A and B are shown apart, each in its own frame.
Chain A
Amino acid sequence: MSHRTTLFELKDIHVEVEDKEVVKGVSLKVKAGEVHAIMGPNGSGKSSLSNALMGHPGYEITSGEAYLQGHSILEMPPDERSRAGLFLAFQYPLAVPGVTVANFLRAALKAHRGPEADMSDFRRLLKREMAALSIDPSFATRYLNDGFSGGEKKRVEILQMSVLNPKMALLDETDSGLDIDALKTVSGGINRFHNADNGILLVTHYQRLLNYVQPDFVHVMLGGRLVKSGGPELALKLEENGYDWVEQETGLTAEV
């Protein structure tokens, strides 16, 4: 895959939350068509990294650079990052009372396509993607995430990804809280989305999602840094042996 172009690149990203540095220099290249996984114990900074990259107001990127298809994104507000092709599936998606799933997605897709765009295919598109993720059609008229179970919220995050079809998708703990059937459905959605032109960065604590979505590269995050990288076999080793051996090998501790 080395002939492919770099899609997404992070250069020495530092992130602070409430004046505390939680990501301490992360560099990463994702080429078109690749799936990367960042694994790490709780508190290692992996969710902070993905939230900061999407422009979450509580996370400040204090230094470093981030490029999507060659465009620097850190100066952009979150909506512009999204329209440039970045997507984050949130770990804890918020409820938005009064705004239906369909209206929300229509507004988002319209924002991506532009105010003059033809939206006549929207209903069909939404129906198709909902069916593919085994989401009941009645969810289209329900308020976004309002009263949804954990698994329903995760499915609807993947639905949003399918409809918006981003270039680069960050999936933050998308597997957490899913039973095995939901995990299969959600990973099926991720695999269907994935193609030779887009990239995926999975952020996860556990290996089990990686049984269904095969990563090309696995990175271990500890103490706010990527301390080890390898192929899919690294994930299996972490599953068997936990993170202790990485801590010993690198001399770092998990907590930031």
Chain B
Amino acid sequence: MSKSNTDIQIPEAIPELERGPVWLRQRRQSSRQSYNSTPIPQRGLHLWRYTDPQRFVVDRGDASDTVYDENYDRIRQVELKHLESGHLSALVTDLGGREIEFYGIEKLGERGVAVMPVSEAVEKHHDLVERYLYELVSSSVGKFEAMNGALWNDGIFIYVPDGVTVDRPIHLIRELGRTDSVQFPRLLVVVGKNAELTLVDEYGGGAFGTQAGTSYSNGAVEIFGLEGSRTRYVTLQRQSAATTSYLTHRAGIERGASMLTLALAFGGAVTKQNFGVVLNGPGAESKIYGLLFGAGHQHFDNHTLHHHSSGQTRSDIDFKVVLRDRAISAYTGLIRIDPHAKSCEAYQENRNLLLNKGCRAETIPELEILNEDVTCTHGATLGPIDPLMVHYLQSRGIEHREAVRMIVAGFVSDTLRQVPADLRDRISEVVNQRLEHL
């Protein structure tokens, strides 16, 4: 499918660009134009120092004869059981934006909660979609955001009306095919005033093998937390070891709203993810937890952004990285506090645990603090497990291997505590698998 290494243009007359009402087709076209006229970012430029931008240039792909991994069906069944037993409010399966299935949405619908394809939402929730879609993730962010903006098939729309609490998670599975696999997932979420939502957004599938670029995913997520809302957004990257993956997430939260973002990543060959929360009103609070565990030749490049556009806002980032074998991680964390945004608090920590020689981590804190009235700290650590910590556990009779497992489990435990119940077993399983044969 993919023909990398050249700047592939998106043609003008393709079906994706014809989807939706006039305003949407116009935005798709302008995304296409922006994509075509924006040069591929130069290697070495800001945010591209660690990952080759060429890897994300692909043909739009072809959906014919798509085959899905057996694991997809297993996970789907597990989550359907969680839905049945009441651990989930709803389950959505999204196959490349071409086939989107919804389970358990009727009950939510009775309370005015909308979980539907964007193609349906453009009619039923026209005002919200027109107002918010492309508001935070569009060609103004970059070339690959423009690419998604032009080429997404259909997306998922979630709306929680003012004052409504969705107390169990809504779970989305975006599955990439094993063959002919290119996808441009898109998600738009609006959480109304004083409403509450937990959302799990899981990215899986992709081609077999280990050669990067055999399958490709480029996702866009936009979340709006209105005044006093409380949102938990969990994303899980478990795509195959042959998948090149790109994801841009932006959330905007208003006065008194809180947003918890939990970014978990275990999959993919080359994964570039960008998580950002803009704090737009006093009292808004954002916490981002990140956890990635890389093995083999996996390559991760993560960015986080906390943008304080209003005073009296608070942000906190705890981004943890565990690497083994020859895996690579680069983390760039930007805190931006606007000139008029007084009395803000912002914290950022990035800790990297390297389980053997040969893996590599970079950490780049960036601060753009444009007024004096702030409390801000940032910190980073990078290194192997402390051999004396292992010795301490061993001196109590615990075998070396188990000591290492316990220390890594301890390192990630505060983060895993944030994982919703339906996912916890699956995440622990992955963490334990990653610790085998060290």
Binding site for B on A (CB under 8 A): 54-58, 77-79, 81-83, 87-88, 90, 93-94, 96-99, 103-105, 107-108, 111-112, 143, 160, 164
Nearest CB in chain B to that of A111: its residue: B397
Q: Are B397 and A98 in contact (CB under 8 A)?
A: no
14 additional A-B residue pairs with CB within 8 Å, beyond A82-B394, A99-B407 = A54-B391, A55-B391, A56-B388, A94-B388, A96-B393, A97-B410, A98-B407, A98-B409, A98-B411, A98-B413, A98-B414, A104-B396, A143-B410, A164-B397
Within 8 A of A (CB), among B336-366: none
Is A96 a contact of B398 with CB atoms below 8 Å? no
B397/A97 in contact, CB under 8 A: no
A79 in contact with B400 given A57-B388, A98-B414 (CB within 8 Å): yes
Contact between chains at B388 and A82 (CB < 8 Å) = no
Q: Is the CB of A96 within 8 A of B399?
A: no
B393, chain A: closest CB distance, angstroms: 7
- Report chain B residues within 8 Å CB of A97: 410-411
Residues of chain B within 8 A (CB-CB) of A56 are 388, 391
Taking A55-B394, A111-B398 as contacts, is the C-beta distance between A94 and B409 under 8 angstroms? no
Check if A78 sits within 8 Å of B402, measured CB to CB. no
Closest residue of A by beta carbon distance from B405: A107
Q: Is B398's CB under 8 angstroms from A79's CB?
A: yes
Q: Is B392 a contact partner of A94 (Cβ separation < 8 A)?
A: yes
A94 x B386 contact (CB < 8 A):
yes
A88→B394 CA distance, assembly (Å): 11
Would A82 and B410 be within 8 Å (CB), given that A55-B391, A90-B392, A96-B389 are in contact?
no
Contact B386 A79, beta carbon cutoff 8 Å = no
Prevailing SS type, chain B contact patch: helix
- Indicate if the CB atoms of B410 and A107 lie closer than 8 Å: no
Which residue, B387, B413, B414, has most C-beta atoms of chain A within 10 A?
B413
Residues on B with C-beta less than 8 A from A96 are 389, 392-393, 406-407, 410
Check: B412 CB closer than 8 A to any chain A CB: yes
Residue pair A83, B410 in contact (C-beta under 8 Å):
no
**A78 near B406: Cβ-Cβ < 8 Å:** no
- Roughly how many angstroms separate A134 CA and B425 CA in the complex, as a whole number? 36
Q: A94-B388, A143-B410 are in contact. Are A160 and B394 (CB under 8 A)?
A: no
Tell me, yes or no, whether B395 is within 8 Å of chain A by CB: yes
B410 contacts A108, C-beta separation under 8 Å: no
Of the candidates B387, B392, B409, the one whose C-beta lies within 8 Å of that of A93 is: B392
Most chain B beta-carbon contacts within 10 A, residue among A78, A81, A90, A108: A78
The contact sample of 8 A-B pairs, CB cut-off 8 A, is A54-B391, A78-B395, A79-B400, A82-B394, A98-B409, A98-B412, A104-B393, A108-B397
Contact partner of A108 (CB less than 8 A), chosen from B396, B407, B409, is B396
Assembled-state Cα–Cα distance A97/B403 (Å) = 13
Q: B409 contacts which chain A residues (CB < 8 A)? A: 98-99
Report the minimal beta-carbon distance from A60 to chain B, rounded to whole angstroms. 14
Most buried by B among A57, A81, A94, A96: A96
Alpha-carbon separation in the docked complex, A20 to B389 (Å): 24
What is the chain B residue whose CB lies nearest that of A103? B406
Residues of the B chain whose Cβ atoms lie less than 8 Å from the Cβ of A108? 393, 396-398
A204 CA / B436 CA spacing, docked (Å):
41
Residues of chain A lying within 8 A (CB to CB) of residue B400: 77, 79
Q: Is B402 a contact partner of A111 (Cβ separation < 8 A)?
A: yes
Q: Which residues of B contact A94 (CB under 8 A)?
A: 386, 388-389, 392
Whole-angstrom CA separation of A121 from B407 in the bound complex: 25
Complex Cα gap A130–B386 (Å): 28
Q: Nearest chain A CB to B207's CB is how many angstroms away?
A: 35
Return chain A residues, CB-CB under 8 Å to B395: 54-55, 78-79, 81-82, 87-88, 90
Q: Are B391 and A78 in contact (CB under 8 A)?
A: yes
Nearest Cβ on chain A to B413's Cβ, whole angstroms:
4
> Does A79 lie within 8 Å of B394, measured CB to CB?
yes
State A96–B386 Cα separation when bound (angstroms).
Answer: 10
**How far apart are the CA atoms of A79 and B410 in the complex, in Å?**
19
